[in-house]
């Protein structure tokens, strides 16, 4: 049946990028690790902090996704020993659930002898997640443009402009995707739909041709960000002012509450932008952690098992939990 044990690292993702609701995504250099091996009994270990409340029995998402892959491939489902470590914060708009789904699929597919190709993994991941933007980015790396009709996901991967990086401001509160989706209207004016089609198309073209000067204008959105702004104090001010402080453009990352600024990696104004983000959110009563992240170009990577982060010295594993 192929490999008996596997370790996979999978990137976080940011989705929408402003106007590309449920269709644009980019992988980011923040990671989750999934270790999987066939076993006599199913054991699930969660390592690190921030994973409280995640089940460690067979209702665990990673186990259920792995089970689905085996069934999809027509294979009997083995008992599995699963380890997971993630530096991607949960329910912050950085694709934590998508990275878990993609990590589980990639690890189980490798363990089972690769019965599914990458497109097969995309179809399964999109069905599970309900939209292709985050799972597509985590699975393919780079920038992705995707569409899903409820049956099939189609995807094109773009190489991000070489000089482009990001600064993310991660507020210290969670925002459930379901709550963020409930904030959206069921209908939109035609002029707003036309506005977003134009901006999303322009943004893809700007990425594809490296026209960074068009990004700020192209990232404007009338589909979801105006309706979600009341859920995130300071968001409207950040999106309005980020370009004046050195950003190429700014957007709500996924369903939020993380705010994303696209930047030139070697910009002399990164510190200015970070001060603007911190001060604007603080003025709105929001504490946030800032990270400089790069686009991840690789998607899931199979690693040597001794590269697992949970094999760090005991003193670095204060959050370890076992079923």
pLDDT in tens, 49-104: 777 788 888 999 999 999 999 999 999 999 999 999 999 998 899 999 999 999 99
The CATH number linked to 75 is: 3.30.230.10
Asked whether residue 212 is domain-assigned, the answer is yes
Same structural domain for residues 171 and 38?
Answer: no
| Residue 127 lies in domain | 5-158+300-318
Q: At what angle do helices 133-140 and 96-111 cross, to 10 degrees?
A: 50
Same structural domain for residues 109 and 216?
Answer: no
Same structural domain for residues 255 and 307?
Answer: no
Instruction: Say if residue 257 is preceded by a cis peptide, omega within 30 of 0.
Output: yes
Instruction: State both tokens at 277.
Output: 């983000």
Question: Residue 224 in 3-state DSSP?
Answer: coil
Instruction: State both tokens at 30.
Output: 């923040």
Locate the DSSP E strands across 149-233: 153-158, 164-171
Calpha distance 106→114 (Å, rounded): 9
Pairing of strands 43-47, 79-86: parallel
Residue 178 pLDDT: 79
Locate the DSSP E strands across 107-195: 143-148, 153-158, 164-171
pLDDT band at 215 (very low <50, low <70, confident <90, very high): very high
pLDDT digits (tens, 9 = 90+) for 5-52: 899 999 999 999 999 999 999 999 999 999 999 999 999 999 987 777
Number of H helices, E strands in the chain: 10, 12
Asked whether residue 250 is domain-assigned, the answer is yes
Instruction: State both tokens at 169.
Output: 């401001």
Q: What is the pTM of this model?
A: 0.91
Structural domains of the chain, count: 2
Same structural domain for residues 262 and 313?
Answer: no
For every residue of 227-258, DSSP letters joined together read HHGGGSTTHHHHHHHGGGGT-SEEEE-TTSS-
The CATH number linked to 273 is: 3.30.70.890
Same structural domain for residues 180 and 202?
Answer: yes
For every residue of 40-84, DSSP letters joined together read SS-EEEEESSS-TT---STTSHHHHHHHHHHHHTT-PPPEEEEEE
Asked whether residue 323 is domain-assigned, the answer is no
Same structural domain for residues 44 and 186?
Answer: no
Same structural domain for residues 175 and 116?
Answer: no
Calpha distance 7→304 (Å, rounded): 7
Same structural domain for residues 270 and 309?
Answer: no
């Amino acid at each position: 049946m192929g490999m008996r044990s596997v370790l996979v690292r999978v990137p976080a993702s940011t989705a929408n990028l402003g106007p590309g609701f449920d269709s644009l995504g980019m992988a980011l250099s923040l990671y989750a690790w999934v270790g999987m091996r066939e076993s006599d009994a199913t054991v699930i270990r969660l390592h690190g902090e921030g994973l409280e409340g995640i089940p460690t029995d067979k209702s665990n998402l990673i186990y259920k996704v792995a089970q689905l892959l085996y069934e999809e491939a027509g294979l009997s489902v083995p008992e599995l020993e699963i380890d997971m470590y993630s530096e991607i914060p949960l329910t912050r708009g950085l694709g934590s659930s998508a990275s878990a789904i993609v990590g589980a699929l990639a690890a189980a597919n490798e363990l089972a002898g690769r019965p599914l190709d990458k497109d097969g993994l995309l179809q399964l991941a999109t069905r599970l997640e309900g939209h292709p933007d985050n799972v597509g980015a985590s699975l393919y790396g780079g920038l992705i443009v995707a569409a899903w009709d409820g049956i099939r996901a189609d995807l094109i991967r773009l190489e991000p402009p070489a000089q482009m990086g990001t600064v993310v401001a991660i507020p210290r509160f969670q925002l459930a995707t379901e709550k963020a989706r409930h904030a959206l209207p069921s209908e939109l004016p035609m002029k707003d739909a036309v506005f977003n089609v134009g901006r999303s198309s322009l943004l893809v073209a700007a990425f594809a041709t490296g026209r960074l000067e068009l990004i700020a204008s192209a990232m404007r959105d009338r589909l979801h960000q105006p309706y979600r702004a009341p859920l995130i104090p300071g968001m409207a001010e950040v999106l309005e002012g980020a370009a004046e402080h050195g950003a190429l453009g700014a957007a709500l990352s996924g369903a939020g509450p993380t705010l994303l600024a696209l930047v030139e990696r070697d910009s002399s104004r990164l510190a200015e932008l970070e001060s603007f983000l911190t001060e604007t959110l603080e003025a709105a009563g929001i504490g946030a952690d800032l990270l400089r992240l790069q686009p991840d170009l690789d998607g899931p990577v199979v690693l040597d098992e001794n590269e697992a982060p949970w094999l760090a010295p005991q003193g670095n594993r204060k959050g370890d939990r076992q079923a």
